[in-house]
Amino acid sequence: MANADYHLFLVGTSGAPVPFARGAHGYSGKRVSEAYIAMSGQRRLGGAGCSFHRDDVYILQSGKSPAIVRVTAVGRASTLAKFPHGGAPGAIAFDGVGSFGHRVLATAQVGKHFELYAFDCRGHVRTISKKAPRVEGGIAVAPMTFGSFGGELIAPDEHSGQIWAIGADGKSRKLADSGIPKGGDIGVESAGFAPGKLGRRIAYLADRASPGSPTKGTNSILRLKGGALLKAGVGAGDLIVVAEASARTIAVHCAASCSVREVATGPAAAHAEGHIVFSAPR
C-alpha cells in the first residue's frame, strides 16, 4: 500500500501501482505534505465491543481539524477519530504486539509539546503521554524479544539523530544514537523490525520527491532484499532505521545491551519517508 498524490495505490512485486479506494466512498486526501499511513491486523477488542480488521489502513490527516482516516480493505473511507487537542500529527503505527492494547498509536505536536495517543476501533482515545519526544514518520512497536525495550514504541527523531522508546506508561527513554547525520529532512525517519524468514523477504520504503530539501528524492519505492540484510548481519527481531537523506540504513540489536551499525545506503538523491514494510516470504 502506498499513499501518493493524495490517493492510495496497491503496489505488488512488479512495481506497477494500481489505484485503490476510489469513488464516492473512497479516499481522497487533503493536500497535506506527509499523510503517513499504518495498516492494522485482525484483532477483537472485547472491552470496546469492536474489531480491527486485517489490511485496513489508517492515515494521518493534518489541517484545521486533524484526524485519523480509516480505509477498509474494500476501499471505503471514514474518519476514525479526531485528535483530542488538535495540533500537528506526526507519526502513526498499529500495535500488533499488544503492550498498548492492540490500538492505533499516533503522535501530534500541540504547541511546544508532543503527545502520544492510543485509539481503539471505535475511535475512543487515551492519552499515553503529554511529554513525548519529538518524532515523525515511521514508528513501530518492538517485539517482546527486543531486550529491555520489548513491547515499547520505537520512534526515531531526525532532528537529534536519537532513537527513542516510549512505554505504555508514557515514560520515554533513549534507546540509542543513530550515529549518522542529524537534522530536518536529513536524519533518521523510518523504522521497522526484521521479521522471521528474512532471506525470503524484501523490504520496501517510500522515496518521496522533496524539492528544496537537501536530497530531492526520486518519487519511487526503494527495495532491499532480505538476503542482503542477512549478509550485513541483520537478524530476525532487529530494528532497522533509515535516514531521510540518501536512505542511509542502520540496524540495532538489543539483548542485554544495544548495538548499532550501518548496513546499507540508498541512491544519493533518495529522500526516504514513512514506514519500512516487508513482503511475505517467497
Asked whether the beta carbons of 40 and 31 are under 8 A apart, the reply is: no
Residue type, 201: R
Within 10 angstroms of residue 282's Cβ, the number of other Cβ atoms is: 10
Reported as a single tens digit per residue, the pLDDT across 157-168 is 999 999 999 999
Residue keyed to cell 475511535: 123
DSSP per position, 128-177:
EESS-----EE-EEPPTTSGGGTTSEEEE-TTT-EEEEE-TTS-EEEEEE
Nine-digit cell at 93?
503505527
Q: What's the pLDDT score for residue 141? A: 98
- Domain ranges for the chain, please list them: 133-282
Q: What's the pLDDT score for residue 119? A: 98
End-to-end CA distance of the chain: 18
pLDDT tens for each residue of the chain, 282 residues long: 888 877 899 988 788 889 999 998 999 877 666 789 999 999 999 999 999 999 999 999 988 889 999 999 999 999 999 999 888 999 999 999 999 999 999 999 999 999 999 999 999 999 999 999 999 889 999 999 999 999 999 999 999 999 999 999 999 999 999 999 999 999 999 999 999 999 999 999 999 998 899 999 999 999 999 999 999 999 999 999 999 999 999 999 999 999 999 999 999 999 999 999 999 998
* SS3 state of residue 230: helix
* SS3 state of residue 221: strand
Give the separation between CA 62 and CA 144, rounded to whole angstroms: 32
Asked whether the beta carbons of 11 and 3 are under 8 A apart, the reply is: no
Residue type, 183: G
Helices (H) and strands (E) in the chain, counts: 1, 25
Q: Kindly report whether the global pTM for this prediction surpasses the value 0.85.
A: yes
Q: What's the pLDDT score for residue 148? A: 97
17-20 and 172-177 as β-strands: parallel, antiparallel, unpaired?
unpaired
